Amino acid sequence: MANVTIKNLNKNYENGFHAVKDVNLEIRDKEFMVLVGPSGCGKTTTLRMVAGLEEITSGQIRIGENVVNDLPPMDRNIAMVFQNYALYPHKSVFQNMAFGLQMRKYPPEEIRKRVQEAAEILGIEALLERKPRQLSGGQRQRVAVGRAIVRHPEVFLFDEPLSNLDAKLRVQMRVELKRLHERLETTAIYVTHDQVEAMTLGDRVVVMKDGWVQQVGEPLGLYGKPANKFVAGFIGSPSMNFVDVTLNGGWVEAKGLRLKAPARIAAMSGRQLTLGVRPEALRIANGGDPAERCLDSAVDVVEPLGNEILLNFRVGAVPMVARVDPGVRVKAHENIRLAVDPERMHFFEQGSENAL
Amino acid sequence: MLIERKWKKWLNFHLPMTVFILFTLFPFYWMAITAFRPDGELYRTWRQPNASPLWTLEPTLEHLKGLMQTTAFPQWMWNTMLIAIVSTLISLVCGMFAGYALARLKFRGSEFLGTAIFITYLVPQTLLFIPLADIIRDMKLGNTPWALMLTYPTILIPFCTWLLMGYFKTIPKELEECARIDGATRFGAMVRIIFPVAIPGILSAGIFAFTLSWNEFIYALVFMSSAELKTVPVGVVSELIRGDIFFWGQLMAGALLGSVPVAIVYSFFVEYYVTGLTGSVKG
């Protein structure tokens, strides 16, 4: 088992595209680290550089104590699960799982034992003789994971392994992966563009954008204290509402909105800021809420989801969403008053977009 | 309504299909019927009473017998087979490695090289045989099977390379990346994973190369002079047309026997052949 250290990692493609910019990460032993970000943010490139499938432009990658910059993939003692599973179509499930061990010249009994063991963990013993084309998407996924775990590698690399599955299966496999990680206790690096996957699977999460690391932290840390506007908008669903505001005396003002500024920023009077409020931080006001913590609007669209209701409304021209109790009875075009907890208001600088 | 549909299907599908099949198969039929028709019927004008141009009432094996006994036909078959197999193998091996390199390796000028190889395929053989004849003479290979085994790949390698390059490109890159993480070298991943997956493409390239060299005429005509070294297409034409006399029966018998191996190869691998041309592997 091993930790993975990434220092000042950069990737420049020949066409001049700078895909990964000065990435520094310390992935601890046995940790499940998730890289998340929109497509083109450099997360997959980073993972492929750890795997040795992509050359490193500058920087250093260490697995355990070894600098692996110039090691070929086969000598890094890693295993990778690909988005399209990459099962060898001409080999049976058993042969697929055994291939890595055969290449490393393990004795046949040992191979059989390990494949059997992995197949039991994943519940695919009955499929060992089948060819990949005879398997469903979820079964292929399991075989791909099985192929990774038979090798007992130091690090698991996952490249969006669940994104080819349908929504229901994805939730199920997510739980299984988490359970598997707890059982195997191997360092894992997992790439996804789905923030829900990132939040549920990761011990820690790295949010990336345009090749830069935006923030590294535990899932709830990212949710509660986003470092900038991008992370705030990316983590959480529906995403955070943003309104450009002016601080005026002790008040946060925008068209259609006037709230009392929380004490921590009240001193910045006159500054232009962006206010961020999560949909779940808004609730229908009751009589006890003072007007200085409330905003008034009219509902555009009501989305009843069963366990919650999403209310779409506008503040000035800015569309916003509130996530309220399923018991609330509101119709479209009705006027509502929503209360905001000052502790749950986020403020961002307008130029740098950094959190205050 | 139903009747109208049937009628439409007949007009739009069955009728054109029948015309097409008749059109493509008629030459084969004509070849076959001529091979078994006695000379008496062959050289008789159709205007005579009882003439049956499309059928024969007295089929004969005389032409086949004549072909086997008076010419070196079995030897031609053997020559053609040997030359076609060796040149196909040479071209396939070169085409597999070259196609893989062009599809997967990034190196300076790889795209230019791919285009250049394609362009060599477009140079007509009728031009190429002149310089090649010079080379063959200098290497003292004239009138040996090697003259053909080594010149056929000049047309077949570009063809195989291009077909296989296209096929390799349809195979997901992740397959070999995964193999390399699993412990294979790039070469190992190519041989153990990519080539087996590409078998449909490799087979169709092979079938095509085999057919092309089996039917090749110009090089075989120019480079081979002894009767016993000739290939079927050249042997049949040069030995069975004497001056202005066409031995139609034997000519067609030779053509019929000569097309059998190709027909067998095609029908045997037809399924692979189709998937090979349409490409695509599902992970």
Residue A214 clears pLDDT 60, i.e. is over it: yes
Q: What is the pLDDT along chain B (283 residues), one digit of tens a residue?
A: 566 678 888 888 899 999 999 999 999 999 999 999 888 887 777 777 777 777 887 888 888 898 888 888 999 999 999 999 999 999 999 999 999 999 988 888 888 888 898 888 888 888 888 999 999 999 998 889 999 999 999 999 999 999 999 999 999 999 999 999 999 999 999 999 999 999 888 988 998 899 999 999 999 999 988 888 999 999 988 888 888 888 888 899 999 999 888 888 888 877 766 666 554 444 3
Residue A164 clears pLDDT 90, i.e. is over it: no
3-class state of residue B35 by DSSP: helix
Beta carbons of A92 and A140 less than 8 angstroms apart: no
Residue of A242, A202, A246, A238 whose CA lies nearest to A222: A202
Which amino acid makes up residue A17?
A: F
* B68-245+253-278 to CATH, choices 3.50.50.60, 3.20.20.70, 1.10.3720.10, 3.40.50.2000: 1.10.3720.10
Looking at the complex, does the CB of residue B5 fall below 8 Å from at least one CB of chain A? no
Per the CB < 8 Å rule, is B185 touching A74? yes
Q: Please give the angle made by the CA atoms of B109, B113 and B118, to the nearest 5 degrees.
A: 155
Residues of B in contact with A147 (CB under 8 A): 178, 182
| Residue A200 pLDDT class (50, 70, 90 cuts) | very high
Per the CB < 8 Å rule, is A84 touching B172? yes
Which of A72, A88, A132 lies closest to B193 in CB terms?
A88
Residues of A in contact with B182 (CB under 8 A): 74, 99-100, 103, 147, 151
Per the CB < 8 Å rule, is B177 touching A90? no
Report the alpha-carbon distance of residue B173 to residue B54 in Å, rounded: 56
**In chain B, which among 169-188 make CB contacts under 8 A with chain A?**
172, 174-175, 177-185, 188
Residues of B in contact with A140 (CB under 8 A): 283
Predicted TM-score (pTM) above 0.90: no
Task: Find the residue in B nearest to A52 (Cα).
Answer: B181
Per the CB < 8 Å rule, is B182 touching A74? yes
What is the CATH superfamily name and number for domain A4-226? P-loop containing nucleotide triphosphate hydrolases (3.40.50.300)
Residues of B in contact with A80 (CB under 8 A): 177-178, 181
Other Cβ atoms closer than 10 A to B216? 23
Place of tokens 């690909």: A82
Residues of A in contact with B188 (CB under 8 A): 103
- Residue A342's pLDDT is 86
Q: Please, where are the H alpha helices in chain A?
A: 43-51, 93-103, 108-122, 137-149, 167-184, 195-201, 219-224, 229-234
Beta carbons of A4 and A42 less than 8 angstroms apart: no
Which of B177, B184, B199 lies closest to A103 in CB terms?
B184
Ranges assigned E (strand) in A220-327: 241-248, 251-254, 257-260, 272-277, 282-284, 294-304, 309-315, 318-324
Which amino acid makes up residue B175?
A: L
pLDDT in tens, A71-102: 999 999 999 999 988 999 989 999 999 999 99
Beta carbons of A210 and A42 less than 8 angstroms apart: yes
Residue of A110, A99, A170, A181 whose CA lies nearest to A137: A170
Per the CB < 8 Å rule, is B183 touching A100? yes
Other Cβ atoms closer than 10 A to A169? 15
pLDDT in tens, A47-69: 999 999 999 999 999 998 889 99
**Separation in Å, CA of B36 to nearest CA in chain A:** 47
Residue A280, strand partner residues: none
Task: Find the residue in B nearest to A100 (Cα).
Answer: B182
Beta carbons of B162 and B249 less than 8 angstroms apart: no
DSSP A71: -
Place of tokens 């809420």: A289
3-class state of residue A314 by DSSP: strand
Place of tokens 């070169």: B94
Which of B178, B185, B197 lies closest to A90 in CB terms?
B197
B28: Cβ contacts below 8 Å, ≥ 6 apart: B259
What is the CATH superfamily name and number for domain A241-349? Nucleic acid-binding proteins (2.40.50.140)
Q: How many residues does chain A have?
A: 356
Place of tokens 């493409």: B201
Per the CB < 8 Å rule, is B183 touching A74? yes
Where in chain A do CATH 3.40.50.300 domains reside?
Answer: 4-226
Per the CB < 8 Å rule, is B180 touching A72? yes
Token pair, residue A1, equals 């088992």
Residues of B in contact with A52 (CB under 8 A): 181
Report the alpha-carbon distance of residue B231 to residue A43 in Å, rounded: 60
Mean of per-residue pLDDT scores for chain A = 91
Residues of B in contact with A78 (CB under 8 A): 181
Residue A348 clears pLDDT 90, i.e. is over it: yes
Per the CB < 8 Å rule, is A87 touching B283? yes
Which of B177, B184, B193 lies closest to A53 in CB terms?
B177
Looking at the complex, does the CB of residue B279 fall below 8 Å from at least one CB of chain A? no
Inter-chain contacts counted by CB atoms under 8 A, chains A and B? 66
Report the alpha-carbon distance of residue A5 to residue A25 in Å, rounded: 6
Which of A52, A103, A140 lies closest to B182 in CB terms?
A103
Interface test with A, best of B176, B181, B192, B193 (most A CBs within 10 A): B181
Where in chain A do CATH 2.40.50.140 domains reside?
Answer: 241-349
- Residue B1's pLDDT is 53
C-alpha torsion B214→B218→B219→B223, nearest 10: 120
Per the CB < 8 Å rule, is B182 touching A147? yes
Per the CB < 8 Å rule, is A51 touching B181? yes
DSSP A291: G
- Residue B283's pLDDT is 38
Bond into A238 cis (ω within 30): yes
Which of A82, A103, A140 lies closest to B174 in CB terms?
A82
As for the ipTM of the complex, it is 0.84
